[in-house]
Amino acid sequence: MRLDNVTKTYGKGDNAVTALRGISLEVPRGTFTAVMGPSGSGKSTFLHCVAGLDRPTTGHVHLGDTELSGLKEAALTAIRRERIGYVFQAYNLMSALTVKQNVTLVARLADMAVDEAWLREVLARVGMSEHVGRRPNQLSGGQQQRVAIARALVTRPDALLADEPTGALDTRTSQEVLGLFRQIVDEMGQTVLMVTHDPVAASYADAVLFLADGQLAGQLNRPTPAQVAERMTHLGNW
């Protein structure tokens, strides 16, 4: 995953708001990367551009060999389906569908066959094998998030993107979910890119990228929560 000098501006003229100012970086395959920054630092926009949910104003986004910025909406949808798994902060699931139906939803939309063995394995890994027939409103917040991760994994994506996945969870459940991310990176070689503002969450990652005012503001490798928190306090004055 590679970004070349990506900028993103919303609006025009006097009302223009620049969310990203020339970001270039590379996320190596099989790593767990966290992106941190204060509110308004552009981290959500950054993730949207990487996921093909939004187009950069200038610059290029590459997913493997594919250049995303030039693609049409239909092609982007296909990329999102097949090569990217996305986990939101909340409202990840369709309330009308069961756990299993939710996990296989993408395959259904893409009209692909579901690899049953792989599905069982993914569900087992996220610890939801027991609950395949339940509906989202019968699950706890942590369980819902695990179902969302299973759904993101089941298509064997090139990258799993997560936007504040623990934002709506308590500490204990957050730990379970973050542990799960760590586990799928270590054991399955999955690439995970996570946006968060929680130093503890970021400390689970291999590397933490700091964003401030739409620009990269440093990187920490193998950080501890304290290092991350320390860095964040200084970002305000950066």
Residue 151 binds other proteins, judged by CB under 8 A: yes
Q: Which is nearer to other proteins, 159 or 228 (CB)?
A: 159
Query: Binding string to other proteins for residues 58 to 97, with x set by CB under 8 A, is what?
Result: ---------------xx--x--xx----x-x--xx-xxxx
Q: Which is nearer to other proteins, 143 or 203 (CB)?
A: 143
Residue 109 binds other proteins, judged by CB under 8 A: yes
CB of 70 to other proteins, least distance (A): 16
Characterize the bridge pairing of strands 159-163 and 17-26: unpaired
Q: Which is nearer to other proteins, 126 or 232 (CB)?
A: 126
Residue 53 binds other proteins, judged by CB under 8 A: yes
CB of 123 to other proteins, least distance (A): 18
User: Footprint of other proteins on this chain (CB under 8 A)?
Assistant: 48, 53-54, 73-74, 77, 80-81, 86, 88, 91-92, 94-98, 101, 105-106, 108-110, 135-137, 151
